[in-house]
Structure 1
Amino acid sequence: MKIALFPGSFDPVTKAHVDIVKRSVGLFDKLYIGIGVNSSKQSFLSIEQRQEMLRAVFEMEPKIHIIAYEGLTVDFCKSINANYMIRGIRTVSDFEYEKAIAQMNHALAPDIESIFIVSKPGYSSISSTIVREVLKHNGDVSQFIPKEALEHLKANRA
């Protein structure tokens, strides 16, 4: 069975994340979307809110499983029997950053392969960081996040 992990903060989930997932899911028997918990980082949305948003976005896809985790991503991969890690690449700087992480992960767990999926050009400028800034200032993020996530945000902010 081919099992992959797509790790990230998903704070919030963006259309760029959704694009990477949709293009990856057909390659695997099971795809975990892993919400990395970083206790030293101040999050915009709670882990529970991010899980609910991701479940709403991917509820019709039985091969996708949403889960939060702490610790090293390669250790989490081992715990779910994932031999593949999906990483989205938007820019050259993303590639350099992700390449360094992939090389470190390979040194720690040579049996886990990193797979880079290049973002579609229309999504290359969308990042959770930028979307969070727009949200913090009550801006319109409807063009950057999936409608299911937008509905969830509106329901939780009302």
Structure 2
Amino acid sequence: MENSNYNYTGSYKRAIYSGTFDPITIGHLDIIERATNIFDEVIISVAKSELKKPMFSHQKRVEFVKAATTHLNNVRVVGFDTLLVDLARELKTNTIIRGLRAVSDFEFELQMGYANSSINKNLETVYLMPTLEHAFVSSTIVREIIRFKGKFEHLVPKKVVECM
């Protein structure tokens, strides 16, 4: 196996924000918009995640994320079904963005960051918190509201509602 410890440097800063985005929420979009002010390019990578049994197909989730981010010039959306560290190598980036809403998120994300770093020591994880007004929003909550035919439109980007 080739050495997975790669290091991409230079003045151009690219980061990956990955997730299942089932569906993308206003909380995700908040993190994405703020990340675009920090990085030259933000690659939103939509995980296939069949083990999670997503409500929406992988193709549909990629479509939702593309629709939600059309107003952002420095965002690219890709689907993937590999380890995140392998995607980072393929996309020549060493920065991962993760969102944190609560202490429980931090524990899981810290473990994932350490696991990724154990595979590639040059991989950095940057943690961003959503604004307070979006801190309670999660895809899990949105899916439950959708399942019970409740009002969810205020929790996802307007362009995603149009796609649904």
Q: TM-score higher than 0.5 here? A: yes
SS of the residue aligned with 1:44? coil
Q: 1:112 matched to which residue of 2?
A: 123
Q: 2:42 matched to which residue of 1?
A: 31
* Counterpart-to-counterpart distance in 1, 2:132 and 2:88: 29
Unaligned runs of 5+ in 1: 154-158
Instruction: Give percent identity, aligned residues only.
Output: 30
Q: Deviations over 1:41-82 (max 9, x none)?
A: 211111111111111111122210111101211111111011
Note the 1:67-78 alignment, pairs <5 A: 67-78=78-89
SS of the residue aligned with 2:153? coil
Q: Structure 2-normalised TM-score? A: 0.90
* Counterpart-to-counterpart distance in 1, 2:42 and 2:136: 25
Q: Structure 1-normalised TM-score? A: 0.93
* Counterpart-to-counterpart distance in 1, 2:88 and 2:69: 21
Q: Contact 1:4 / 1:31 at 8 angstroms: preserved in 2?
A: yes
Asked if residue 124 in structure 1 is aligned to residue 131 in structure 2, the reply is no
Q: Deviations over 1:69-121 (max 9, x none)?
A: 01211111111011110000000000111011111111111111100001211
Unaligned runs of 5+ in 2: 1-11
Offset, 1:128:
0.3
Runs of 4+ off more than 4 Å:
none
